[in-house]
Structure formats: C-alpha cells, structure tokens
C-alpha cells in the first residue's frame, strides 16, 4: 500500500514577486502566506493592505502524483474509482 503526503500550497502573484507557502491544512497554508506577505511589507515599507487577499490561490497537493492545470492526472481506469 502506498501512502501519499497531503499538503496545501498557497500562492500569491504580485506585479514584481511570486509568493508561496505550504501547510498541512488549507488554513495553515493561507496563514503562513499572509505572514510572509506581512514580512515582505515590513521589508519593503509597503502598507499592510498592499495586496488583494481574494487573489490568494490555495490548492491541495499530494506526493507521488502528477498534476496538470492544478488537477491530478489520472489513468482512464482511475476515473471510475
């Protein structure tokens, strides 16, 4: 039996930077990313509301799987499982 590791990836793309964070839950990934965006704001002297929270993208990822367009690839016989 193969076990996969499930993690969550949060991404934010700004005009000049790409940010990503990982967590064991969706909420953790989002919170870690928000903390990173806050650190960035401190480092660059940005206002605390410099980014658009609604543009944060969070997705579930699994080890041992290939993805296309953020969806796991499956063989034809796996679609019926």
List per-residue pLDDT tens for the chain, 81 residues long. Answer: 567 899 999 999 999 999 999 999 999 999 999 999 999 999 999 999 999 999 999 999 999 889 899 888 988 877 655
Domain boundaries defined on the chain: 6-80
Model-level pTM?
Answer: 0.82
Name 31's Cβ contacts closer than 8 Å, sequence gap at least 6: 23
51 contacts 35 by C-beta, under 8 angstroms: no
């Amino acid at each position: 039996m193969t076990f996969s590791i499930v993690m969550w990836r949060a991404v934010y793309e700004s005009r000049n930077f790409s940010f990503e964070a990982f967590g064991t839950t969706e909420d953790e990934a989002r919170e870690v990313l928000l903390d990173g965006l806050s650190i960035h704001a401190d480092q660059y002297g940005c206002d605390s509301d410099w980014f658009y929270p609604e543009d944060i993208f969070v997705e579930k990822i699994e080890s041992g799987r290939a993805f296309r367009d953020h969806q796991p690839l499956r063989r034809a016989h796996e679609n019926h499982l």
